[in-house]
Amino acid sequence: MADSVRSSISCLVSIFAVALGRIPSLMALRKPLPMSVAVTDAHPSSKDISKGGTKKLAAVVDSVWEWAAICVKQCPVQPVAHLGEGLAYENPPAFIVEAHKQSLDLVECNQYSPTGGLSRFTGTLSRVYSSIYQKTLNPDLEISVHSGGTEAILSVITAFVEPDDEVIVFEPAFDLYELHVRFVGGVLRTVPLHPPQHAGTAVSQAGEWRFKTEELEQAISPRTRLLIVNTPHNPLGKVFSAAELLTIGTLCARHNIIILADEVYEHLSFNAPLPRIATLNPTIARHTISIGSIGKAFNATGWRVGYAIGDRDLIRHVKNAHIILCYTTAGPAQVAAAMGLEEAERVGFWDENRQRIKGKIDGLCAVFDDVGLPYVVPSGAHYLMVNATSIKVPAQYVFPENLADKPQDWRLSWMLLQEFGVASIPVSASFSNANGRLGGDYLRFVVSKPQAELDLAKERLRGLKDYL
């Protein structure tokens, strides 16, 4: 018996060896180690391993989010009222949580989903957005499902931006736009949203921060491939007007530029229905890909479900990029998202949630009114930008050395955390160096937090009166 087994194993090894020698593709995979790496029994140092990291990853290490996370962890005032990062630490509405539980019992949800998305989800998206766009959307050809809005954005950028192609963004801007563009070898071009003259001394409206058409025109070049417009806007809270979007769309159509409309905060437009660039006219619509997020819509960012909607000739390329980047998206979350979208309309969740977030923003604004710091009244999203230039830093105050070459808002953010235990994000991190002066006076606060955490932050922030 043992001899028979040994004989069989020996035969298999021989067959495998012969096969391996006859298949060049298998042999080619066995590449020798680089000459610079010595082969020893010892583990290589972390320094040697890190040499394999590409330059495109360096910006992630230096990001404001990494800095903020470390600062919060080391803060001497605990617990920190973390109004810097948009983590809510509250569950999504009960109806969508229950839908997710139910979806786990469905066989099709526990296997690979179709790369373009489950028909249960894409069909619901088609019904919801066909009504908004006033045209019938093909769920198979004009909708792409993604593992979060972030992956949807990266899929669009990957699909259309070649090395040295240019992408235009309005500043301040979500910093992941730049990371994504640089990741594929593209070049970021920025157009600033200019504040009104009184923004430094009085309360301003987010809608008063505007781009100049001539600056947008100057940013366009023969290499421009993509323009990103985020509305409602992070971190400003601006909702771009229909007139502004028409200017943007007309220029993009004229120069054959694809528009990436990041509308993940679409259900948080406070004052009026959200103007959507894809609905302005058929020509602009053919150039537009709109991004939505179930995570942002339902406070379920851990589910990682987003989607892209656009012309079929654009979406097919986005789907191909998605296959490379992520392949497929979690099935249970897709089915739950479909059920959640349907139930949200039925129970009036969008209006209720919008009023809830607006109430939290109003409550935080009242604190800064009391303290005497001007801010930007948002028209949407869940952020509040506060002008912090009136805060007086004690003459002998010691800051970390790594903040020496940073704009003043980084130092103010750090001091606010150290002295009051309230985390914020310096807005200059959302600007390029060329336009950093426009953001260096501001701190960004997030209100999508449990009420107890917001109340703690408000109580502590009132102490700023002693620093003005």
Give the pLDDT score at 201: 93
Residues 248 and 282 both lie in one domain: yes
CATH code for position 278? 3.40.640.10
pLDDT, one tens digit per residue, over 123-149 is 999 999 999 999 999 999 999 999 999
Residues 316 and 250 both lie in one domain: yes
Residues 267 and 148 both lie in one domain: yes
Cα separation values, 32 from 27, 36, 42, Å: 11, 11, 18
Give the pLDDT score at 439: 80
Residues 100 and 211 both lie in one domain: yes
pTM of the complete model: 0.87
Residues 70 and 122 both lie in one domain: no
Residues 379 and 319 both lie in one domain: no
Residues 69 and 147 both lie in one domain: no
Give the pLDDT score at 273: 93
Helix, strand, coil shares, percent, the chain, to 5: 50, 15, 35
Q: Is there a domain that residue 9 lies in?
A: no
Distance, in Å, from the CA atom of 250 to the CA atom of 229, rounded to the nearest integer, reads: 14
CATH code for position 423? 3.90.1150.10
Burial of residue 40, with CB atoms counted within 10 A of its CB: 0-12 exposed, 13-18 middle, 19 or more buried: exposed
Q: Is there a domain that residue 17 lies in?
A: no
Residues 296 and 444 both lie in one domain: no
Count of all residues that appear for the chain in the document: 468
Q: Is there a domain that residue 264 lies in?
A: yes
Residues 251 and 123 both lie in one domain: yes
Q: Is there a domain that residue 16 lies in?
A: no
Distance, in Å, from the CA atom of 374 to the CA atom of 385, rounded to the nearest integer, reads: 9
Beta-carbon contacts of 443 under 8 Å, excluding residues fewer than 6 positions away, are 385, 386, 388, 409, 412, 413, 416, 424, 425, 426, 427
Domain of residue 403, residue span: 59-88+350-467
Q: Is there a domain that residue 41 lies in?
A: no
Distance, in Å, from the CA atom of 173 to the CA atom of 156, rounded to the nearest integer, reads: 17
pLDDT, one tens digit per residue, over 254-287 is 999 999 999 999 999 999 899 999 999 999 999 9
pLDDT, one tens digit per residue, over 238-253 is 999 999 999 999 999 9
Residues 174 and 301 both lie in one domain: yes
Give the pLDDT score at 64: 87
Distance, in Å, from the CA atom of 6 to the CA atom of 97, rounded to the nearest integer, reads: 56
Q: Is the pLDDT of residue 334 over 50?
A: yes
Residues 367 and 446 both lie in one domain: yes
Q: Is the pLDDT of residue 29 over 90?
A: no
Boundary-marking domain end, from 316, 347, 378: 347
Residues 209 and 315 both lie in one domain: yes
Q: Is 122 helix (H, G, I), strand (E, B) or coil?
A: helix
Report the chain's mean pLDDT, rounded to a whole number: 89
Q: Name the domain count of the chain.
A: 2
Query: What is the H or E stretch that residue 95 is in?
Result: helix 94-103
